[in-house]
Structure 1
Amino acid sequence: MKLPNAAHTERPWRIHEIAGDFRLADVWALDTPGGPDDFPRLVRQLAEGNDAHRSAIVRALFAIRWKLGELFGWDGPDAGVGSRVPTLRDRLPADLRDLPAGPDLHGVPFTSVYLTHDEWALEAANGTVHAVLHVGWVPDEATGRYRGQMAVLVKPNGLFGTAYMAAIEPFRRLIVWPSMIRTIGRDWQK
């Protein structure tokens, strides 16, 4: 379920001190009911994710995006983290830098920045954007349990990146994220 931005911005997440120059694009509730200590399970599930569970339309949209990236050079080695943009790990305060970074995502180009007991941040960059995927573990007031919450923060690469983000917004909000959120919930129930 899509959440208002305040569901992310009003929480005391550590990502706020690290990615304050990024724009919050989306916030989603994950159907992952659990107890206060179930966050590591969610991290494992997401890190080991299986692309085969994506819907056919989402797989097609990603295939088109990767093909366009190949044709226009958006995803080349000079466009990523550590080349076009520095890694957010360089911004971490000492207490986070000393922790293990956490796992990277399987099958997508997101690299872990940090992992705490209730927060996981990953980053990716290409010719269009520098993006952060933020996953948190939050109390669910409606049920008295906990659940995952996912936010996407972006820093577009110039005017082209801004235009690109505007062009993909309907696909992202209406197709890609809802499908992925459903898959995360289904996988959690297994």
Structure 2
Amino acid sequence: MKLPKSAHTSRPWLIHELTTDFAVEDVWALPTPGGPDDLPLLVSQVVKGDFPEGAPLVVRLLWEARWKIGAVLGWDRPSAGFGSRVATLKDRLPRALRDEPSGPDTNDLPFTSLYLLQDEWAAEMANGTVHTVMHIGWVPDGSGGYHGQMAVLVKPNGLFGAAYMAAIKPFRYALVYPALMRTIENTWRAGTAGPPPLHA
């Protein structure tokens, strides 16, 4: 379920200190009901998940097209990313966190973990179009349980980056996010299901 940006900005999370020059692009409540200590499980599922491979064909084609276009236009070359065009947000972490484990290996995702705390995880990505942060928080649901909340924060690369974000927005809302939410929900249900009931 899409949430107002205030659902993210009103939380006392560390990410706010690191992203004062970023804009909150999207905020979503994740269909991942759980207990107070379940954020690491959700994060591990996200980084090992079946997206976009398990998404509908049209989403997979869009995903593949993005990376092919990026390869042709040089959006994802090293000089467009960290250490060249932009500095990693790891440099903005409080000193006490800089030497701590940053979170799980993000495997095939184009993101790199920044930090993992009890109630929030953040990962970043930079290319020729944008510097992006994916933030997943673990929030109480008001009835004794908890669930995940995902925010996407962006810092476009000039006018071109802003135009790119505007151009892909309809596809994100109509295709990518619905498929991602279904993948997260299905993975969560499978990963949190207990053993089958014993029958007499």
The alignment's TM-score, normalised by the length of structure 2, stands at: 0.91
Aligned to 1:56: 57
Following the alignment from structure 1 to structure 2, what is the Cα–Cα distance between the partners of residues 57 and 132?
25
- Kindly indicate whether residue 111 of structure 2 is the aligned counterpart of residue 110 of structure 1: yes
The amino acid that maps onto 2:12 is P
Question: CA offset at residue 179 of structure 1?
Answer: 1.0
Aligned to 2:152: 152
Following the alignment from structure 2 to structure 1, what is the Cα–Cα distance between the partners of residues 97 and 79?
27
- Kindly indicate whether residue 163 of structure 2 is the aligned counterpart of residue 187 of structure 1: no
Aligned to 2:177: 177
Aligned to 1:95: 96
Following the alignment from structure 2 to structure 1, what is the Cα–Cα distance between the partners of residues 100 and 35?
23
Following the alignment from structure 1 to structure 2, what is the Cα–Cα distance between the partners of residues 107 and 24?
24
**Equivalent position SS for 2:150:** strand
The amino acid that maps onto 2:39 is F
Equivalent residue runs for 1:1-190 within 5 Å = 1-51=1-51, 52-141=53-142, 143-190=143-190
Following the alignment from structure 1 to structure 2, what is the Cα–Cα distance between the partners of residues 25 and 136?
15
Following the alignment from structure 1 to structure 2, what is the Cα–Cα distance between the partners of residues 95 and 189?
35
The amino acid that maps onto 1:164 is Y
- The C-alpha deviation readout for 1:127-155, integer Å capped at 9, x for no partner, is 000000001100012x4310000000000
Q: Stretches of 4+ moved more than 3 A in 1?
A: none
Following the alignment from structure 1 to structure 2, what is the Cα–Cα distance between the partners of residues 153 and 5?
10
Following the alignment from structure 2 to structure 1, what is the Cα–Cα distance between the partners of residues 42 and 109?
17
Question: CA offset at residue 46 of structure 1?
Answer: 0.9
The amino acid that maps onto 2:135 is H
Following the alignment from structure 1 to structure 2, what is the Cα–Cα distance between the partners of residues 174 and 50?
19
The amino acid that maps onto 2:90 is R
Question: CA offset at residue 98 of structure 1?
Answer: 3.3
| Larger-gyration structure (1/2) | 2
Number of residue pairs aligned between Structure 1 and Structure 2:
189
Question: CA offset at residue 72 of structure 1?
Answer: 0.6
Following the alignment from structure 2 to structure 1, what is the Cα–Cα distance between the partners of residues 105 and 24?
21
CA contact (8 A) 1:49 1:105 kept: no
CA contact (8 A) 2:47 2:109 kept: no
CA contact (8 A) 2:129 2:161 kept: yes
Q: Percent identity?
A: 62
**Equivalent position SS for 2:179:** helix
RMSD of Structure 2 on Structure 1 (CA): 1.1
The amino acid that maps onto 1:173 is Y
Question: CA offset at residue 48 of structure 1?
Answer: 1.2
The alignment's TM-score, normalised by the length of structure 1, stands at: 0.96
Following the alignment from structure 1 to structure 2, what is the Cα–Cα distance between the partners of residues 54 and 38?
25
